[in-house]
Structure 1
Amino acid sequence: MVTGVLIDWGGVLTTSMTDSIAKWIIADRIDGDHYRKVMRQLVDAAYNGDGETLIHALERGEIDGTAFEHDLAARLLTLDGVPPAPEGLLARMFAGFERVEAMYDMLRVVRGHGVKTCLLSNSWSNTYERDGWDEVFDAVVISGEVGMRKPEPRIFHHALGLIGQPGESCVFIDDIEANILAARALGMAGIHHRDADTTIGELESLLRLPLRRA
């Protein structure tokens, strides 16, 4: 029996990171191919490597967004062949995020059936739109606020403790495979999010409940 749902924010409760980044690349005239090469290396090192990176430090809140923006901007190029302006870089990158209301509606229905819910998000020093969060979450865990990050086991244990549920009774939803694998290693079921309709359908099967509003 599933008694808890842990869920990511960016790219899950919002429109995809890919869509937001695509809008920013156009707006800031970023060299997209160069950006993708740089980010593949950074993200792969952060989620699949053995050492520590700036992303580790950013997500744990050990450095602030300004320091990361200057480092990242120095690695990138615009179509004019110069680095983009570092100030506000992260805000511009994430400006295209939009709430996916179907996912919020699903969480309201889940809570209505007595299942505990917890937001579990890795923060890039970004601002979260928290309107209505008290209606959909029993607990909120944001990496930069707790000094831990996914896929570290300790942040999952922290989240589970806040909602008072064992991992074996919980489902974790995220759009990054490394985080799903980490949750599964702790006994949780994992749903690799790609779109709202598919995720809601998978969760309906696990909970054996209808989760879509009429």
Structure 2
Amino acid sequence: MAVVTGVLIDWGGVLTTSLTDSIAKWIEADRIDAEHYRAVMREMIDHAYGDGAGESAVHALERGELDGPAFERDLAARLVTLDGVPPVAEGLLERMFAGFDRVEAMYDMLRDVRSHGVKTCLVSNSWSNTYPRDDWDEVFDAVVISGEVGMRKPEPRIFHHALGQVGLPGAECVFIDDIEANIVAARALGMAGIHHRDADTTIAEVESLLRLTLRRA
């Protein structure tokens, strides 16, 4: 196995608390019919990350071809609240993701690997959301956000772009994500893949690959 000299990593659900937790808070606050929401979103995500043929609103949103307000109107029209009406479209995506909290152990891990000369790159699919970038210069050597580069995971071209940003071949990198389809795509390009479920498990896997001891506080 090649020496790992680069870590490519997702943001939402990896460097933050889980999307499931954030969505649960929004569902309660906006009084969304949870069962109906899950059915709608399952169809959209299965198409976007599975074997669905053709393009979708999710593809366009993540590449920045569809703006957030337009997607919010489309999604709100598909959903229903417990009061039997659609939720307010304006600000829908911001409310959905408002429950994300930073996972400090993961940020510490990235600082640690950088201190050992390992390159780091964020590779995130954006849903027109705002990212908290205050300390990103300390954490990342490069940042690749789908809506800013016009490419999305699991398209191979976004991985090629990210590898170019850090100047490394796929065989020397590990990619960390919470969506299996993205891991599969990265592995097809020669990268090691870590399917993130929790910070402790992921950090242990990174330690094993890089042969380092990393912080988990």
Please indicate the TM-score interval, normalised by the length of the shorter structure.
over 0.9
Structure 2 CA distance for aligned equivalents of residues 113 and 62 of structure 1: 38
Which letter maps to 1:43? I
Look up the SS of the partner of 2:43 in the other structure.
helix
Matched, 1:31 2:26: no
Structure 1, unaligned stretches of length 5 or more? Answer: none
Which letter maps to 1:137? F
Which letter maps to 1:60? R
Structure 1 CA distance for aligned equivalents of residues 216 and 28 of structure 2: 36
Match of 1:2 in 2: 4
Match of 1:212 in 2: 215
Q: Number of aligned pairs?
A: 214
Counterparts of residues 136-151 of structure 1 (less than 5 Å)? 136-151=139-154
In the TM superposition, what is the alpha-carbon distance from 1:50 to its structure 2 partner? 2.5
Structure 1 CA distance for aligned equivalents of residues 30 and 216 of structure 2: 39
Q: Normalized against structure 2, the TM-score is what?
A: 0.98
Structure 1 CA distance for aligned equivalents of residues 117 and 210 of structure 2: 11
> Would you say the 8 A contact 2:40–2:79 is kept in 1?
yes
Counterparts of residues 119-134 of structure 1 (less than 5 Å)? 119-134=122-137
Counterparts of residues 1-214 of structure 1 (less than 5 Å)? 1-48=3-50, 49-212=52-215
Structure 2 CA distance for aligned equivalents of residues 32 and 201 of structure 1: 34
CA deviation vs aligned residue, 1:113-169 (integer Å, no higher than 9, x gap): 000000000000000000110001000000000000000000000000000000001
Structure 2 CA distance for aligned equivalents of residues 141 and 173 of structure 1: 14
Look up the SS of the partner of 1:120 in the other structure.
strand
Structure 2 CA distance for aligned equivalents of residues 210 and 134 of structure 1: 23
Structure 2 CA distance for aligned equivalents of residues 81 and 195 of structure 1: 36
Look up the SS of the partner of 1:119 in the other structure.
strand
Structure 2 CA distance for aligned equivalents of residues 3 and 30 of structure 1: 44
Structure 1 window deviating more from structure 2 (168-177 vs 48-57): it is: 48-57
Structure 2 CA distance for aligned equivalents of residues 213 and 126 of structure 1: 28
Look up the SS of the partner of 1:191 in the other structure.
strand
Structure 1 CA distance for aligned equivalents of residues 213 and 39 of structure 2: 41
Identity of aligned residues (%): 83
> Would you say the 8 A contact 2:25–2:99 is kept in 1?
yes
Runs of 4+ that moved beyond 3 A: none
Structure 2 CA distance for aligned equivalents of residues 127 and 153 of structure 1: 24
Structure 2 CA distance for aligned equivalents of residues 58 and 77 of structure 1: 21
Structure 2 CA distance for aligned equivalents of residues 211 and 190 of structure 1: 18
Structure 2, unaligned stretches of length 5 or more? Answer: none
